[in-house]
Amino acid sequence: MLLNDFQIAELAFDVGWTGQDIVTAVCVALAESGGYTDRVNTAGNHPASRDRGLWQINDFWHPEVSDAQAFDPVACAMAAHRVWAANGWHAWVTYTSGSYLQFTHRATIAARVILPGQFVIARFLRLLSPQLRGVDVAAVQHALGPKYYAGTVDGVYGPMTTAAVQRWQHDHHLTDDGIVGPQTAQSFKFAFVPGK
C-alpha cells in the first residue's frame, strides 16, 4: 500500500513525534520506502538481513518487530518511534547520508496540514476552468478523508472535490456551495488568510 505525505505525517504525529521530528519522520519514511508500507530491501545489508515496511525496520537489529508489525503502518510507526527514542535518527542510513533532506519541503507541508491551525489557505478554492491546482487543494482533499472524498489526493479542485466539499459543508452546517472560504477552512482547522 502506498501512503501519501499527509498520511505518513498523521502516523508520525499519532505515535508521538512532535515539532520538527514529525517533518524528519516523514522525510525518513519517504527516503527509506517511498511511502510503500510493504517495501522490503536487502541490498547492502551486513549482516544479511531485511529492512521492512514504511520506516524500513531491520529484522537483524530489531527481531522484536515481526513482519506483520513491520508491514502494518501503525505498528511500523510505533516501532520506528521506539527505535528513534532509543537511538535517535542516526539509526537510519538515509538520515546519516543526508538523502532524507530531499523530502523536506513535502514533509514540512504535510506536517503543517495535520497539525491544527498550522496550515494556511491563501485563496478561495472552488471549481473553475481551468481547475485550481496546488498543495492547498491536496490539503483539503486529505482533510475530507475517505468518508467524503474517495478520490486520489491529487491537488486538483475538480467536480469530485467540489461534491465532497459540499457534503462536508452540509454535514457541518455550513453553506454547501462547494467553495472553501474562511468558514470551511476553519472547519478543517486550517487558517484562511487570502493573499498571503
Spatial strand order in the sheet of 40-41 = 40-41, 51-52, 57-58
CA dist 111 to 20, 62, 131, 173, Å?
Answer: 9, 27, 25, 28
Name beta bridge partners: 2. Answer: 36
Angstrom distance (rounded) from CA 34 to CA 105:
15
pLDDT at 90 over 90: yes
Domain ranges in the chain are: 5-113, 117-192
5-113: CATH number = 1.10.530.10
Residues 6+ apart with CB under 8 A from 31: 92, 94, 95, 99, 100, 102, 103
Q: Identify the weakest region by mean pLDDT among 2-6, 74-78, 79-83, 109-113.
A: 109-113
Q: What is the pLDDT of residue 83?
A: 97
Q: Is the pLDDT at 87 greater than 80, yes or no?
A: yes
165-175, pLDDT tens digit by residue? 999 999 999 99
Confidence of residue 45 (pLDDT cuts 50, 70, 90): confident
Contact 57, 80 (CB under 8 A): yes
CATH superfamily of 117-192: PGBD-like superfamily/PGBD (1.10.101.10)
Q: How confident is residue 196, by pLDDT bands cut at 50, 70 and 90?
A: low
Give the tens place of pLDDT for each residue, 105-160.
999 999 988 887 789 999 999 999 999 999 899 999 999 999 999 998 899 999 99
Cα separations in angstroms, 73 against 14, 53, 55, 179: 11, 8, 9, 33
